[in-house]
Amino acid sequence: MIAPALAAAAVPLQFSGDFLYLALVFFVLAIVAGLAGFGGVAGMSMSIARLLILVFLVLAVISLLL
């Protein structure tokens, strides 16, 4: 019988597009906030969107390599 730790290690990495979806949501929020004149909210939303896209790209490269 395979130990639970070994069974979990045998499963390849899989990720959904949640990071990309959330990045798109924050990007749209940044655009709407910028048009409404809320510069602070727009800047913070854009920073979060950039971070989520970076996390998505890192996870995508890791999953492609493994």
- Say if 9 falls within a structural domain: no
**pTM for the full predicted model:** 0.68
How wide is the angle at C-alpha 44 spanned by C-alphas 42 and 48, nearest 5°? 115
State the burial class of residue 30 (Cβ atoms within 10 Å of its Cβ: 0-12, 13-18, 19+). Answer: buried
Per the structure, the complete domain to which residue 33 belongs is given by: 16-65
- Say if 20 falls within a structural domain: yes
- Say if 8 falls within a structural domain: no
Q: Is the pLDDT of residue 13 over 60?
A: no
Q: Which of the two residues, 42 and 60, has the higher pLDDT score? A: 42
- Say if 29 falls within a structural domain: yes
CA dihedral sign, ordered 13, 14, 15, 17 = positive
Q: Is the pLDDT of residue 33 over 90?
A: yes
User: pLDDT category, 5, cuts 50, 70, 90?
Assistant: low
Look at the chain and report how many structural domains it folds into.
1
- Say if 11 falls within a structural domain: no
Relative orientation angle of helices 18-36 and 39-65, to the nearest 10 degrees: 160
